[in-house]
Amino acid sequence: MNSSVCKILCSSSPLLPLTPPTMADSNAGIFDPDGKYEQGVLQASNDYPCPKDGADFVYGTAGFRMKADKLTSVAMTVGILAGLRSRKLHGQTIGVMITASHNPAEDNGVKIVDPQGEMLEQEWEKYATYIANAKDPQEAQNAYMWMIKEVRIDQKKPASVIFARDTRPSGEELVRALKTGLDATGVTSIDYGILTTPQLHYLVKATNTKDTSHPYGEVSEEGYYKKLATAFATAMDNIKPAGAVTVDCANGVGAPKLKEFLKHLPADSINIRVVNDNISDPSVLNNDCGADHVKTQQRAPAGFDGKAYDRWASFDGDADRIVYYFQAEGSIFRLLDGDRIATLAANFLGELVQKSGLADKITMTVVQTAYANGSSTRYIEQSLKLKCECTSTGVKHLHHVAARSDIGVYFEANGHGTVLFSPQTLKRIHTHQPESPAQLEALTTLRALTDLINQTVGDALSDFLLVETILAHKEYTVREWLATYTDMPNKLGKQRVANRADFVTVPDSAERKLARPEGLQERIDEIVAKYKDGRCFVRASGTEDVVRIYGEAGEVFDCENMVREVGGEIERRFGP
């Protein structure tokens, strides 16, 4: 195994040895008596050998993601790890999703979904990294046996995994590699074919709650559509839709799935036009279209033909992100991103809780990252009178904090997010006895939204239906939505550096303050102090030797000058 990877892993956790134990060393965990799984791992690693180019693989928030042609051996090891995870959790079903989301078509990725539809437990990310970096079949077998010992896994327990992929052609080969790892270790599996990422998360939770007192939904793709359609119809009962909306599906899996969902709705319930829906040509996937393009480029997607104030939305390639936007008079582009969706949802849910007579029993928190526009934070705290928390970048951090609240609304500015209802809150909502017809009306809508909102992960389709419901109830056009607050001028820049690892943020600062390099944060503070309403932070990129510089100020020119000045300071002192 590459020593640099092992050292990185061992520095973050002393559990991972540089030399994995052999069979003779393994005296904990329960191995299968005839060693067939160990031999299966050996054979699977022979069938899908690790690339010889010395590449290092690291499991992160998005799982493994890279050029698809380098991913086959990794997909196989994910099959092995998913089986171990299921056995550790006494046979609960684990999910595996093959997708690279908003990346170009030549990329792909593979990630693991835990039993309640949440992301893989963070402690297990290092195990995924560990086995993926085994450089030959014997190392892979040793790593497998070491994990059985270290995590104390009983191989006699059953293991169950379900998996799906997006529309990328490379997904077929990665499925074969994944299935090889699953079969090698005796894992029962189901291939759900082509799905959106949120649909796979839904199916994992539905599978694991099927025979409980609180089933999440029917265990099928059809069940996903039925649940959303029923909830949407209830929430929109006697409410006039908010007019036509055009949805850009990034030429990805969201296009056929949105069209399939619409078959479950009455024809007049919502007026949707679907564009950028070409899944037959891989080269157009996420190409000048989709949520990431619209957000990062601050412009409409390819094929945009909207008139002034027409409402548009964009999904990303695997349909777990959504942003809205429109063109104002004079062809001025206006973005309604994740911050806007979060504030819209928090406002409406707060009103429903109040009108339902539950305000003294339910509290709400909005969770953001440091990239959230400062005006949205002030609107949440000062106008909506809600608690707002800031976490490190990455939905796993937001999800964790949101889950601590009665109702936790979380969205990254890129449009990835959802709303979580605690089990106790769901019980209160569904058992509360209204005291008036008005309370009953609000309570009925609130109950419907608990089913309409995907409780497992950000879901572009679910979030889209939530926004459309709110706009209809509040009789908002995009003008009224935009007018709720005015964004601070902001700019996201980057600066190339000699070594991004030199830039370390202060723990518990939500990545808004630098601990190292020494003295740099003080210099940034001096620069920011010169600008009215200035705010600026620097954090290292996770993929390249650059740092990201985010700035806000009261005026556009101040914002641009501030970010430029901070970038110049970093280039002068730490440039390559």
Angle CA 432–434–438, to nearest 5:
135
Position 190 scores a pLDDT of 98
277 is in an annotated binding site: no
Within 334-485, where are the H helices? 338-355, 374-378, 395-402, 423-431, 437-452, 460-474, 478-482
Q: What contacts 346, CB < 8 A, 6 or more positions away?
A: 364, 366, 380, 384, 386, 409
Phi-psi region of 238 (alpha: psi -120 to 50; beta: other; left: phi over 0): left
168 is in an annotated binding site: no
539 is in an annotated binding site: yes
Position 53 scores a pLDDT of 74
The residue whose two tokens read 């074919």 is 193
Residue 256 parent element (H or E): helix 254-262
Contact 70, 170 (CB under 8 A): no
Helical packing angle, 423-431 and 437-452, nearest 10°:
140
Position 543 scores a pLDDT of 61
Position 23 scores a pLDDT of 39
Pairing of strands 364-369, 407-411: parallel
Closest CA to 72 of 145, 166, 172: 172
Position 54 scores a pLDDT of 63
Measured CA to CA, the distance from residue 237 to residue 422 in angstroms comes to: 26
How large is the C-alpha radius of gyration of the chain?
24
Preceding peptide of 517 cis, ω within 30°: yes
Handedness of CA 338, 341, 347, 351 (dihedral sign): negative
Closest CA to 177 of 64, 98, 117, 124: 98
3-state DSSP of 371-391? CCCHHHHHHHHHHCCCEEEEE
Position 335 scores a pLDDT of 96
Total Cβ atoms within 10 A of residue 26: 19
541 is in an annotated binding site: yes
Handedness of CA 14, 19, 21, 25 (dihedral sign): negative
AA identity, residue 293: H
412 is in an annotated binding site: yes
Measured CA to CA, the distance from residue 260 to residue 23 in angstroms comes to: 51
Closest CA to 84 of 28, 161, 20, 140: 161
334 is in an annotated binding site: no
Question: 237 to each of 119, 227, 234, 263, how far by Cα in Å?
Answer: 34, 16, 5, 18
Contact 296, 392 (CB under 8 A): no
542 is in an annotated binding site: yes
Pairing of strands 245-248, 311-315: parallel
pTM of this structure = 0.91
Position 539 scores a pLDDT of 93
Contact 268, 303 (CB under 8 A): no
Closest CA to 217 of 228, 208, 226, 206: 206
248 is in an annotated binding site: no
Measured CA to CA, the distance from residue 165 to residue 168 in angstroms comes to: 8
Position 297 scores a pLDDT of 87
Contact 128, 121 (CB under 8 A): no
Position 6 scores a pLDDT of 46
Q: Which residues are the active-site residues?
A: 101
Question: For 70, which DSSP code?
Answer: G
316 is in an annotated binding site: yes
3-state DSSP of 232-255? HHHHCCCCCCCCCEEEECCCCCHH
269 is in an annotated binding site: no
109 is in an annotated binding site: no
Residue 313 parent element (H or E): strand 311-315
User: What six digits make up the tokens of 573?
Assistant: 């002192």
543 is in an annotated binding site: yes
Question: 394 to each of 59, 62, 318, 367, how far by Cα in Å?
Answer: 13, 9, 17, 12
Per-residue pLDDT of the chain (576 residues; tens, 9 = 90+): 444 344 434 433 333 443 444 434 444 556 666 788 999 999 999 999 998 876 689 998 889 999 999 999 999 999 999 999 999 999 999 999 999 999 999 999 999 999 999 999 999 999 999 999 999 999 999 999 999 999 999 999 999 999 999 999 999 999 999 999 999 999 999 999 999 999 999 999 999 999 999 999 999 999 999 999 999 999 999 999 999 999 999 999 999 999 999 999 988 889 999 999 999 999 999 999 999 999 988 899 999 999 999 999 999 999 999 999 999 999 999 999 999 999 999 999 999 999 999 999 999 999 999 999 999 999 999 999 999 999 988 888 999 999 999 999 999 999 999 999 999 999 999 999 999 999 999 999 999 999 999 999 999 999 999 999 999 999 999 999 999 999 999 888 889 999 988 999 999 898 999 999 999 999 999 999 999 999 999 999 876 778 999 999 999 999 999 999 999 999 999 998
Write phi, then psi, for 447 (nearest 5 degrees): -65, -40
360 is in an annotated binding site: no
